[in-house]
Chains A and B, each alone.
Chain A
Amino acid sequence: MRAPVSWIREYADLPADVPVEELAARLTALGLKLEAIERPGHDVTGPLVVGRVLTMEPEPQKNGKTINWCTVDVGDANGTGEPQGIVCGAHNFTVGDLVVVVLPGGVLPGGFDISERKTYGHLSAGMICSTRELGLGDDHEGILVLPANAGEPGDDVFELLRLRDEVIEFEINPDRAYALSLRGVSREAALAYGVAFHDPALRDTPPADDKGYPVVVDDPEGCPVFVARTVSGFDPTAPTPDWMARRLLLCGQRSISLAVDVTNYVMLELGRPIHGYDADKLSGPIRVRRAGEGERLTTLDGVDRELSIEDLVVCDDSGIIGLGGVMGGQTTEMSNTTTRVLIEAAHWDSRSMFRTGRRHKLTSEAGKRNERGVDPTICEAAADRVAELLVEWGGGTIEPGVTVVGHPPEPRTVTIPIDLPARVTGMDIASDTTIANLEAVGCEVDVAADTLTATVPPWRPDLEDPFDLVEEVARIVGYEDVPSVLPQAPAGGGLTPEQALRRRAGRTLAGEGYVEVLSFPFVGEADFDRLGLDGDDPRRTALRLANPLSNEEPLMTTTLLPGLLRSVSRNISRGTTDLALFETSPVTFPRDGVAAPILPVDRPPTKQEWEELNRAIPDQPLHLAFAASGDRDRGGWWGKGRAAGWSDVIQTARVLTDAFGLELSARASTLAPWHPGRCAELFLGETSIGHAGELHPKVCRAFGVPPRTSVAEIDLDLLISRAVRVPKAPGFSSYPVAKEDVALVVPEDLPAGTLAATLLEGAGPLCESVRLFDVYTGPQAGEGRKSLAFALRFRAPDRTLTEKETAAARAAAVALAEQRHGAQQRS
């Protein structure tokens, strides 16, 4: 909402010297938030005066143009009283017209300095101005010709044209719809300064009669009040007065025609949207009803719309002629031949307005006000004001009839304990202050013992609940007076173990050299294709957005890998090639066909409703994914580097599970998007928590990441749920350790982890660890076989082991490996 200060001052008796910044600050403190302050015309300096054209000599020029050599009476403004000689290129004026003259020394908008200059063979001393040159509009077809009664030659134009003004632009919150008008803004300005407010809606209006245009309202709930007035004999070519066009412009609206401008002007003035019809195009009585199934209307914007049975429509005998309160139709639109205007000032149900606006994606200045709630008591005043302005500037007469159908709803009352504002705000607010402040916003207040009943003013449909009154009282007392008191919470339990462990996961990864990234969760089918997921891969079943930002990415992702790989690719394209990245985010697995209920709000959900609602929420486990690309160990003066590979991401997973007090095991797997021979499924005991390994070369190419890029994705929620919460202290032996090495030749496809587990099992309880330290696959191992070397450590809890005991345990381990895997000991 843009409000010229000069207009505010018409209704609020503000002190003359109030700076606009202060006014804006006080209004902001009351809840009308300042967006911007503009000072139109403040870059223009005089002398800028009224002139009367005394003579004009057309002089054709060689370039084909004709200029006028004029003498203009500017009174005493030029210091001599002599006529001023001025060259003017425009032709839309004649001798005797009043025009606007800027004399030498003046400055026009944009820093355009005016001085005497020789042009077309004359000494031109000044300039006759157009509205555009004055910054008043964009009409540059000719110069601005003032009405004959505008003033006398030499009069200052600044005041006459309201050339200088200050405009405050506010961001109006939805609850303060009344402030979408000068009436409302001025009321608040008067409140801010404790000065008188002159309500522009207070006017004597003629009483309703049955001689006005016939109107029938079939749906009084949707349209409680419908007022119609008619003006006939109106001159459709009459121009909009400059001051009105100027104010509309300052408020952000272009001047269109007098009739349209007047309806817009009154809407800005009073907040009540007005619709004007070409009365000669109407046939039969006006009827307000809900639209029927399948009915259509072409609205003013030229769009043919299919209407809903919820839409409120205005009809005549020809059918539907407008979407009530939202937008008129084309057939009865006012035009440049309209001489008879039917003025509609109606009050519409705000909820219907909102629904219709949203359904038809229509936003208009009228709709914005109607859907937020307009004062229902000012329809007659608004219609009367429009009629007055039309006749004043467009001629014609107001027809005698006054149609008023319906009546405004009864005023609402709200009762509160009188100390409620003090209790809710924590401010020291006396009862008298509460009463005075409620009265200041327009409430009538009745006090009975400890309670107060406020009758809410009709322009405040937002005041419904006790706490709404609290806010009204508090904003006038001033939010800056709210004291600062720290509440005392009961002793808390700190972070939950899950929350603490989540932090630990991130810190562990960062400690391992990984950098955390945050990606958008949006993906497309193409991402799943790039990952090489099978058609029936469960990760392809993703939640679809109805209104995605990009049609390429309409799905909520089921895996963090696409986002992570995009980050890898982006870093590489920006010149960072040795990369280790991780991300911790939820992924979404939709539940099929379960709807979340829309529950009532006048009571809490029942247990059953609450469970039903939560069953519909998709499963959103927290995942952790990480990727390594380029060198994991960089090369340098110390020697060669080492490229990141499948073993690095498995190693990182192991460090992570170590940090949670868990032991990770890996098993060969063939899941996409991993390399089928280099993918590990990660287990805690028998529970799979994710996968790690090298990406399939096709996937690397598809995402534009280097070959051998290795990734892992883990269900972090699952991992955290398994974390050891209360670890037991270890019991360990202080007797010496006995070490034995074993080298075994086994089939090449036997996983080392399996063989290690066999050795540990075979060696029995004396064996405390088995660690692989060498893998050999050369000719000495034999075709299709490999040699694995393990270090075994033996120890007893209560004694030093003898060589014999150790040898026996080792032999048992080897024997089980032979028996189970055909392992042969290598000498």
Chain B
Amino acid sequence: MSGPNSEYDPVQVTPLDEEHVNAMRRQALAAIAAATDLDALKQVRAEHAGDRSPLALANREIGALPPQARKDAGQRVGQTRGAVSQALAVRQAELEVEAEARMLVEETVDVTLPWDRTTKGARHPITMLSERIADVFVAMGWEVAEGPLVEAEWLNFDALNLGPDHPARTMQDTFWTEPPENHLVLRTHTSPVQARTMITRTPPIYVVCPGRVFRTDEYDATHSPMFHQVEGLVIDEGISMAHLKGTLDHFAEAIFGPGITTRFRPSYFPFTEPSAEVDLRCFVCRGQSPAVEDCRTCKGEGWIEWGGCGVVNPRVLTACGVDKDRYTGFAFGMGIDRTLMFRHGVADLRDMFEGDVRFSTAFGAEL
């Protein structure tokens, strides 16, 4: 801004007269209204409100006027500049809204374009089901016990009342290792983990043991040399078959839903006495007529064979250092692979061990 110029003749400063200022205001407001986009408005802002705009130039002249005229002109130019500036702000806001609306339209994409840039990850359903089962028991205060796959013969058999001449020992087709005098086997069940637990802990014992086991079965749709079991073991004072039944009923309901409980049939296992087979109420037909007749899950039985169980044989307690006069216990075991097969309708066991990514990815993140 220039300083006052006393030698200047105000009469000759025409830009400051009212008519002229009004004209500038009209021109500016018209240009602002005419600006159709933000770029045009920027241009208008420079022309009508910038440093070299007529109003800015006029403003500079104000100082040259005599005091009274200076005040009038100052007021006039100031108001006009304020009006122009406000109009610019309003128009700016309008145009910004318009511009964003236009952008949103212009930027529309085809969201049906495929977006399969990365491969889909998945855990194995056996892993997930094992964890799910473990969690059911952990929620009751149990702990998860573990042991080695290559195991001492004594723990896999003898300690479990399967002596060298026990006929049941041939029922389990065992992988033996070289040299034989080292007495190591691939565990044929997860029961040696139970023996380990009893030997190394003091009762009360409440443990669940999901794990991998091996038998010399030929590999086909329903047999595999490697499969998975979950076993449970409780050793405490006053434990009975009723507690076993209660535990298995709870387990069944937790995995298969309310009302899906179990039944017992007499059976034989060297490590339990009395022993029972566990059947699971069919969770598809619930054993109800007429659905049961055509039920493919239970083959019309209403029940599904699930596993074995019983009261821990006192001979096992003795070999594992548990006071058999003070404590009783129960144990149970079932196949995880088998459970997965009937729970999820897996037709061929081999699908679980061939590593085809289409298998695991079908089961989601948790079971």
Q: Is B367 close to A, CB under 8 A? A: no
In the bound complex, do residue B150 and residue A425 qualify as a contact, i.e. CB atoms below 8 Å apart? no
Q: Is A543 close to B, CB under 8 A? A: yes
Q: Is A521 close to B, CB under 8 A? A: yes
Q: Is B14 close to A, CB under 8 A? A: no
In the bound complex, do residue B178 and residue A518 qualify as a contact, i.e. CB atoms below 8 Å apart? no
Q: Would A486 and B247 be within 8 Å (CB), given that A521-B226, A595-B182, A598-B183 are in contact?
A: yes
Q: Is A358 close to B, CB under 8 A? A: yes
In the bound complex, do residue B117 and residue A620 qualify as a contact, i.e. CB atoms below 8 Å apart? no
**Interface members, chain B 140-178 (any A CB < 8 Å):** 140-144, 146, 148-155, 158-159, 161, 163-165, 167-168, 170-171, 175-178
Q: Which of B149, B186, B264, B313 has a CB less than 8 Å from the CB of A480?
A: B264
A753 CB to nearest chain B CB (Å): 27
Closest residue of chain A to B270, judged by CB? Answer: A174
- Determine the chain B residues whose CB is within 8 A of the CB of A638 once the complex forms: 117
Q: Which of A372, A423, A465, A479 has a CB less than 8 Å from the CB of B273?
A: A465
Q: Would A516 and B123 be within 8 Å (CB), given that A549-B225, A604-B320 are in contact?
A: yes
- Determine the chain B residues whose CB is within 8 A of the CB of A495 once the complex forms: 134, 138, 144
B: number of interface residues (CB 8 Å): 105
Compute how far the CA of A769 lies from the CA of B134 in the bound complex, rounded to whole angstroms: 42
Q: Is B19 close to A, CB under 8 A? A: no
Q: Which of B113, B149, B354 has a CB less than 8 Å from the CB of A570?
A: B354
Closest residue of chain B to A470, judged by CB? Answer: B274
Q: Which of B165, B181, B212 has a CB less than 8 Å from the CB of A354?
A: B165
Q: Which of B127, B240, B353 has a CB less than 8 Å from the CB of A423?
A: B240
**Interface members, chain A 631-646 (any B CB < 8 Å):** 632-634, 636-638
Compute how far the CA of A215 lies from the CA of B20 in the bound complex, rounded to whole angstroms: 150
Q: Is B361 close to A, CB under 8 A? A: yes
Compute how far the CA of A566 lies from the CA of B355 in the bound complex, rounded to whole angstroms: 9
Interface string of B240-263 (1 = CB under 8 A from A): 111111110110000000000101
Q: Is A93 close to B, CB under 8 A? A: no
Compute how far the CA of A580 lies from the CA of B134 in the bound complex, rounded to whole angstroms: 28
Q: Is B306 close to A, CB under 8 A? A: no
A44 CB to nearest chain B CB (Å): 26
Closest residue of chain B to A479, judged by CB? Answer: B264
- Determine the chain A residues whose CB is within 8 A of the CB of B249 once the complex forms: 484, 486
- Determine the chain B residues whose CB is within 8 A of the CB of A545 once the complex forms: 175-178, 186
**Interface members, chain B 211-251 (any A CB < 8 Å):** 212, 216, 218-219, 225-226, 234, 236, 238-247, 249-250
In the bound complex, do residue A471 and residue B138 qualify as a contact, i.e. CB atoms below 8 Å apart? no
In the bound complex, do residue B149 and residue A33 qualify as a contact, i.e. CB atoms below 8 Å apart? no
In the bound complex, do residue B150 and residue A475 qualify as a contact, i.e. CB atoms below 8 Å apart? no
Compute how far the CA of A483 lies from the CA of B119 in the bound complex, rounded to whole angstroms: 50
Interface string of A420-450 (1 = CB under 8 A from B): 0001111100000000000000000000000
B322 CB to nearest chain A CB (Å): 8
- Determine the chain B residues whose CB is within 8 A of the CB of A578 once the complex forms: 119
In the bound complex, do residue A613 and residue B155 qualify as a contact, i.e. CB atoms below 8 Å apart? yes
Compute how far the CA of A576 lies from the CA of B177 in the bound complex, rounded to whole angstroms: 37
In the bound complex, do residue A598 and residue B218 qualify as a contact, i.e. CB atoms below 8 Å apart? no
Interface string of B166-209 (1 = CB under 8 A from A): 01101100011110111110100000000000010000101000
Closest residue of chain A to B227, judged by CB? Answer: A518
In the bound complex, do residue B243 and residue A485 qualify as a contact, i.e. CB atoms below 8 Å apart? yes
Q: Is A819 close to B, CB under 8 A? A: no
Q: Is A61 close to B, CB under 8 A? A: no
- Determine the chain A residues whose CB is within 8 A of the CB of B3 once the complex forms: none
In the bound complex, do residue B117 and residue A571 qualify as a contact, i.e. CB atoms below 8 Å apart? no
In the bound complex, do residue A489 and residue B206 qualify as a contact, i.e. CB atoms below 8 Å apart? yes
Q: Would A471 and B122 be within 8 Å (CB), given that A547-B175, A596-B184, A634-B117 are in contact?
A: no
Closest residue of chain B to A614, judged by CB? Answer: B152
A1 CB to nearest chain B CB (Å): 14
Q: Would A173 and B268 be within 8 Å (CB), given that A520-B353, A566-B355, A599-B154 are in contact?
A: yes
**Interface members, chain A 619-675 (any B CB < 8 Å):** 620, 632-634, 636-638
B282 CB to nearest chain A CB (Å): 17
Q: Is B335 close to A, CB under 8 A? A: no
In the bound complex, do residue A29 and residue B265 qualify as a contact, i.e. CB atoms below 8 Å apart? yes
In the bound complex, do residue B247 and residue A487 qualify as a contact, i.e. CB atoms below 8 Å apart? yes
- Determine the chain B residues whose CB is within 8 A of the CB of A605 once the complex forms: 199, 321
Q: Is A30 close to B, CB under 8 A? A: yes
In the bound complex, do residue A426 and residue B243 qualify as a contact, i.e. CB atoms below 8 Å apart? yes
Compute how far the CA of A65 lies from the CA of B102 in the bound complex, rounded to whole angstroms: 101
Interface string of A299-324 (1 = CB under 8 A from B): 00000000000000000000000000
In the bound complex, do residue B243 and residue A588 qualify as a contact, i.e. CB atoms below 8 Å apart? no
A422 CB to nearest chain B CB (Å): 9
Q: Is A73 close to B, CB under 8 A? A: no
In the bound complex, do residue B123 and residue A507 qualify as a contact, i.e. CB atoms below 8 Å apart? yes
Interface string of A587-603 (1 = CB under 8 A from B): 01000001111111111
In the bound complex, do residue A574 and residue B356 qualify as a contact, i.e. CB atoms below 8 Å apart? yes
- Determine the chain B residues whose CB is within 8 A of the CB of A547 once the complex forms: 175-176, 216
A116 CB to nearest chain B CB (Å): 41
In the bound complex, do residue B176 and residue A471 qualify as a contact, i.e. CB atoms below 8 Å apart? no
Q: Would A513 and B355 be within 8 Å (CB), given that A485-B243, A485-B246, A549-B225 are in contact?
A: no
A494 CB to nearest chain B CB (Å): 6
In the bound complex, do residue B148 and residue A586 qualify as a contact, i.e. CB atoms below 8 Å apart? yes
In the bound complex, do residue A424 and residue B311 qualify as a contact, i.e. CB atoms below 8 Å apart? yes
Known pairs A29-B265, A547-B175, A617-B150; list 5 more (Cβ under 8 Å): A467-B311, A486-B249, A489-B141, A507-B123, A596-B182
Which positions in B face A, CB cutoff 8 Å?
Answer: 113-124, 126-127, 131, 134, 138, 140-144, 146, 148-155, 158-159, 161, 163-165, 167-168, 170-171, 175-178, 180-184, 186, 199, 204, 206, 212, 216, 218-219, 225-226, 234, 236, 238-247, 249-250, 261, 263-268, 273-277, 311, 313-315, 318-321, 328, 352-358, 360-361, 365
By Cβ-Cβ distance, the 5 closest A-B pairs, closest first, are: A426-B242, A567-B355, A604-B321, A426-B240, A31-B266
